[in-house]
Amino acid sequence: MQKREELYRGKAKTVYTTDDSNKLILHFRNDTSAFDGEKIEQLERKGEVNNKFNHFIMTKLEDAGIATQVESLVSDTESLVKKLDMIPVECVVRNVAAGSLVRRLGVEEGKELTPPLFEFFLKNDALHDPMVNDYHIISFGWATADQIEKMKALTFEVNSVLKRLFDDAGMILVDYKLEFGLDDAGNIVLGDEFTPDGCRLWDKATRKKMDKDRFRQGLGSVVETYIEVAERLGLKL
Ligand code: ADP
Ligand code: UDP
């Protein structure tokens, strides 16, 4: 597979076209950003760790029958994926209260959410990714009602697979963000990434934060902790 030109450079990944018009290469860089790109640092090995972590998780989801972008790992920091027409919203599921939910509603961090919550955010850094609902998405034409139902159902399917996977490895899946896109046949497919950059994971026994909150809150040992998460899942890095 030949890499062609750079299509898009985001905050953490660069997207390249390839000689197959239906496939892209995602390059996971060491750049780590928080607060809509206000805080940016290079963290040694993060690109490699996230690339391999994402491939591992997407393969688990694919094995569980969820359609994902996954094709193959092409280098330590690059993956070949299906090219998707991305829907510009983030799908967030929360099993435990944390982050913006706590700030917005003044609820206690750590409160178990039964049933889990689902929220949509518009992908727009300049507007700080505002929360939107189904009506905004349909009215502005970002997705149809049917596509919305599919994204919700798939995001909850991911929750059943991953909650269990992390629980078995001694971690709580607090919340996470997914992005979906349409493949060339118009099917909704999971794209982007699932890594500790886009979810919250707490150690079950000590509640130690094992995700990007270590970076956001300046807790240190960011990549070391991502590696610990991977190793607990049985992924050798
Ligand atoms: P951001 O755009 O938020 O700064 P990244 O640095 O992660 O984020 O950039 C990756 C970009 O690639 C995102 O805009 C994402 O929506 C897009 N993307 C991820 N997976 C795919 C895919 N399979 N096909 C097309 N675009 C994708
Ligand atoms: N998230 C993300 N990208 C975003 C916004 C959120 O990956 O642009 C993830 C975040 O890491 C967390 C979940 O989505 O796991 C919920 O994030 P929240 O709304 O609490 O926002 P935060 O306080 O993390 O900015």
* Interacting residues of 152 by C-beta distance below 8 A, sequence separation 6+: 91, 118
Per-residue pLDDT tens, the chain, 237 aa: give them.
899 999 999 999 999 999 999 999 999 999 999 998 899 999 999 999 999 999 999 999 999 999 999 999 999 999 999 999 999 999 999 999 999 999 999 999 999 999 999 999 999 999 999 999 999 999 999 999 999 999 999 999 999 999 999 999 999 999 999 999 999 999 999 999 999 999 999 999 999 999 999 999 999 999 999 999 999 999 998
pTM: 0.98
- Domains in the chain (CATH in brackets) are 3-82 (3.30.200.20), 86-220 (3.30.470.20)
Distance from the CA of 207 to the center of ligand 1, in angstroms? 30
Alpha helices in the chain (DSSP H): 46-63, 99-105, 134-139, 145-168, 213-216, 222-232
Calculate the CA 17 to chain-centre distance: 21
Tell me how far apart the alpha carbons of residues 80 and 207 are, in angstroms, rounded to a whole number.
35
Distance from the CA of 213 to the center of ligand 2, in angstroms? 10
10 strand-pairing partners: none
Minimal-distance CA residue to ligand 1 atom 18: 192
Ligand 1 atom closest to residue 179's alpha carbon, by position in its atom list? 16
